[in-house]
C-alpha cells in the first residue's frame, strides 16, 4: 500500500485536507486495502467525543457532529436519496429517477432523521455505559 494510495483514500473517504488529484485517485482505485486503514483512522477520530469530560447528552450530540465533520455530508445525501427511492410508487426505473432528483421528499427526510437519531442514541447509550462502569 503506497502513501499515494492512502492519501487518495483519505481524500475520497474523508474531509481531511490531504490534497486530491488524479494521481492519488488512481492509486486509491488500484489499492482497495486502503479502505480498512482509513476506516480505523476515521473510527479513532469520531470516537474523540467519548473522551470528553462531558455529560452523556453532550457526547450524544458531539458524536454525529464528529462523524460528519470527518466524513462530510455527502453520505447524508446518499441516505436521503435512498429514503426517497424507497417510498416511490412505481417500477425500478421510477426509483432510479428519484435517485437523481435533488428534491428532498418525505422518505429522504425520515431516512435522515433515523440515521442521525440512531447515531446520537447509540452515542448516548455508550456514554451512559461508560459513566456507569467508570
52 has a pLDDT exceeding 80: yes
Q: What is the pTM of this model?
A: 0.77
How do residues 6-28 score in pLDDT, each as one tens digit?
999 999 889 888 878 899 999 99
Grid cell digits, residue 115: 440515521
**For the packed helices 3-13 and 22-29, what is the interaxial angle rounded to 10 degrees?**
100
Distance from C-alpha of 8 to C-alpha of 27, rounded to nearest angstrom: 7
How do residues 81-125 score in pLDDT, each as one tens digit?
999 999 999 899 999 998 888 899 999 999 999 999 999 999 999
Q: pLDDT class for 134, splitting at 50, 70, 90?
A: low
Domain locations in the chain? 1-46, 48-134
Amino acid at each position: 500500500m503506497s502513501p499515494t494510495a492512502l492519501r487518495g483514500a483519505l481524500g475520497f473517504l474523508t474531509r481531511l485536507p490531504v490534497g486530491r488529484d488524479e494521481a492519488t485517485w488512481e492509486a486509491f482505485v488500484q489499492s482497495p486495502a486502503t479502505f480498512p486503514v482509513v476506516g480505523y483512522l476515521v473510527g479513532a477520530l469520531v470516537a474523540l467525543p467519548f473522551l470528553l469530560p462531558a455529560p452523556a447528552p453532550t457526547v450524544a450530540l458531539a458524536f454525529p457532529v464528529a462523524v460528519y465533520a470527518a466524513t462530510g455530508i455527502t453520505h447524508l445525501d446518499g441516505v436521503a436519496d435512498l429514503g426517497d427511492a424507497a417510498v416511490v410508487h412505481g417500477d425500478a426505473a421510477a426509483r432510479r429517477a428519484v435517485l437523481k432528483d435533488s428534491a428532498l421528499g418525505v422518505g429522504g427526510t425520515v431516512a435522515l432523521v433515523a440515521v442521525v437519531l440512531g447515531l446520537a442514541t447509540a452515542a448516548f447509550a455508550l456514554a451512559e455505559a461508560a459513566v456507569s462502569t467508570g
